Every structure is written in structure tokens, then in C-alpha cells.
Amino acid sequence: MNLLDRINDRQFSVAVVGLGYVGLPLAVEFASKGITTHGIDVDPRKVESLCAGKNYIQDISDDIVRDVLDRGVLRATSDFSVVAECDVIYICVPTPFTPNKEPDISYIVQATSSIAEHLRPGQCIILKSTTFPNTTEGYVQPILEGGKRKVGVDFHLAFSPERIDPGNKTWHTANTPIVVGGVTPECTAIAAAVNRVVIDKVIEVSSPKVAEMEKLLENIFRSVNIALVNELAQLCDRMGGVNIWEVVEAAATKPFGFMPFYPGPGIGGHCILIDPYYLSWLAREHDFVTNFITLAAEVNESMPYYVQRMVLRQIAHMPVTLKDARILICGVAFKRDVDDLRHSPALKVMELLTQDGAGQISYVDPYIPSLELFGKTMEAVPYSDELVADADIVVITTDHTAFDYERIVRNAKVVIDTRNATKKVTEGREKIHLLGDGKCIQ
């Protein structure tokens, strides 16, 4: 029985390399369907946690993770030799960028090399890590072939980008449509069939390059539009008398041709911040400069500096020096109601203020108990009315729904709101300085 037949009969096994916010939910989906699944990660803490029956990903149920682990359909290990036992291998490893904003696909290369050591005939490898076009065929394929195997003959290879949205309660691994592009038509067919076991809708495209590029387009689309409203927010503040939030809401009443995006203190997470630089790096190899895309990324990366200036401007009007000012940061996760700190703009705001000489910065966040700032561990402080009242300035950088904004404004002296979290607050609005409200002239 060939691999496609075994997939259709649910008689196959899976390995997922990388048990982070993409890999673990995917592994759990397969295991929940009764498919024997091996989760592989080089981080011993993740493996130890899973072997102890503990879940560390917010978006999946603790009970479901515990169930598949207890039943033995999901097994966690750091040993790549289990690859030889599996029919399908997913690669779900990080793809960061270097300090010079060039792609770092070393995790993909390392994972692929480890897989190649245990590859056997007939297996299918599916890369899910967000990356630049030609990674699958230009980097992963040669490593797997190793001069002795041939893709489409000895093994199958495809790219199927992740579409995880941390914290989204509506769209998750199973019901979010995905794209698949294989090196050969048979590779595409097999990879699509595997994904359809756990994912409701799978769209096949003609090649891995198309799938790699469409993933970048998804995120760069958001980056460019967020940059547009971030720039307009600054213009509204400079002009005075125009509130960008009201402008966007008004424009959103148009039933066609417009999609609302909102300003903020910057962008975080993995994809939207990083992907423009992956594409601009690739473009330079082809003597092409992505001016528009790069400019949008730069606008978004400048927003923490804009928030920094908002804070400094308010402190300048207070009877306190920056060194002695008590600054309370509300929310440090990169987006609302998640426990993900990656590239959070709140961190950059805190770093900038510290570099300026702010000596009393604290933060509250129900999802982030501690963080690293300048190499030192910083603990979240418990929320209290007294904490807010004692602060000289409160900066809302992440609009968690757990925060009571009426209460924060009531007790605070000054509030800088970078997310329009205080939109429904009616009393004490004179204390609020909203990014882009046309009143906070820089």
C-alpha cells in the first residue's frame, strides 16, 4: 500500500519537529484523530513538560493535551531517530532574522539535516515555517536529497505555511484554510491529503514558491496597512482636531473597497514584523528594492519611539523628573489576551524610557508574570487601585480585556492610551492622552 492510500485509510504516522505555537497544536490535532504522532523538540523543557502531561500553549485545551499524552497517541522526544518510524514529517521551527535584519533559516537547516539522517523511502516532508521563496527547493530539498535520493521518487516534499493567530477564539488549526504547494504534483497531492485529515479546507497551488510567497503577502499586506494608519495617526496629532480612530470607524461604514486597520504602539509577534525583511532580502538578490514594503516596516518599527515621546511630553508637564517619575505599563504581551511576548512593542517602549533615564518603571500583565529587560528579570506587579493611583503616568500598551479601563482612568493621574482601550470610558477623559486623537501634538 502506497503512502497516499495509507493516508486515506488513516494508517499512517506523523512526526512534528518543533513544538511551539505552530507545532504543538498541529501535533495535538493529529493525535486527537487517533494518528500516532511524535513531537520532536530540541528544547528539553518542552519535552519534559509534555512528558509530565503539562500543556504550555495557551490556544489549546489542557484536557485535550493531557488526553492524547495519556493515551500514548502523542509522544514527545528530543531524539530525531523516531523520524524513521513516521510516514509524514512536519517542520515547524522558528525563522527569526539577524541583527542586520537578514533571514535566519538555521533552525530549518538544522532540523532538515537531522531528518535527513533518518530518512527512509516513501516519506513526505512538509515545511510550515514562514520563510522566503525558494527555501523549500533551494535549501531543504538538497539537504534531503544528499546526492543519493531524488525528490518525487524517494521522498515527497511540500511547503504549507502556518496560519496560526495566537489568541483567536474563532479561527484555529482545524478550521483555518491552508495552502499547500509540492515540488511535484504527486508531492502536492500527498501533502494535501495529509493536511485534510486534520484541516477542513486545503488549497493546492502549483509550487512551493507560490505557497512561500503567498504567506509573505498575507503578512506584508497587514504590515503595509497598519503602517498607513500609524502614519496617519501621527499626522492627525500634528494637525490637531482630527481623531484617527473616528476616521477609521467612519471609513469602515463603506460596504466595499475598504478594510479597517488600527494604529498602535508598534507591531509584535513573529510574522508581521519579520516577513517584510525576509522579502526585501530576497529582492536584493534579484537587484530589486522593495521601497514601499521596507518603508512600511520602518514606520511600524518607529511607533515605540513615538510612544516614548508621548510619555516624555506628559512628564515634562509634571512636577517630577523622569528619573523619579513612577511609570506603570499596562500590558506587555504583543497583542490582546495572549501570553506571547515576542517582539512586543511594549518592551521597546520600556527599553527606550529606561535609556532616557526613567528609573521607576513597573508593569502589570495577567499573561506575562516576568520578562527580561537589559539582561535583568523583571516581575509583574499585582494590579491594585493604589498601584495606579501611585503612578505618575499609566501607559496602556496592550489592551487586555481583563483590565477595567473605567477603574484605571478613575484612579490614574495621567493615562496614555496607545490602543483606544479607553474608548468607552466616559468619566475622567481629560486624563486620557490617546495616540492619534488629534490632541497629542508632538
Farthest-apart Cα atoms in the chain, separation? 79
Query: Of 392, 390, 336, nearest to 168 (Cα)?
Result: 336
> What is the pLDDT, as a whole number, of residue 272?
85
SS3 readout for 266-328: CCCCCHHHHHHHHHHHHHHHCCCCCHHHHHHHHHHHHHHHHHHHHHHHHHHCCCCCCCCCEEE
pTM listed for this prediction: 0.93
> What is the pLDDT, as a whole number, of residue 440?
60
243, 263 Cβ separation under 8 angstroms? no
Question: What is the distance between the terminal CA atoms of the chain, rounded to a whole angstrom?
Answer: 69
Grid coordinates belonging to 432: 486620557
Asked if the domains at 3-206 and 226-434 fall in one CATH topology, the answer is yes
| Residue the block writes with cell 541583527 | 99
Grid coordinates belonging to 322: 523622569
Name the residue ranges covered by the structural domains of the chain. 3-206, 226-434
> What is the pLDDT, as a whole number, of residue 439?
84
Active site residues: 271
Helix then strand then coil, in percent of the chain rounded to 5, is: 40, 15, 45
What is the rounded CA–CA span in Å between residue 177 and residue 116?
29
Ranges of the chain whose pLDDT falls below 50: 442
What is the rounded CA–CA span in Å between residue 46 and residue 27?
13
Task: Fold for 226-434, please state it.
Answer: Rossmann fold (3.40.50)
| Residue the block writes with cell 513612577 | 326
CB atoms within 10 A of CB 52: 9
Domain 3-206 has CATH 3.55.10.10: no
427, 406 Cβ separation under 8 angstroms? yes
Angle 70-75-77 from CA coordinates, rounded to 5°: 140
Burial of 221 (0-12, 13-18, 19+ CB in 10 A): middle
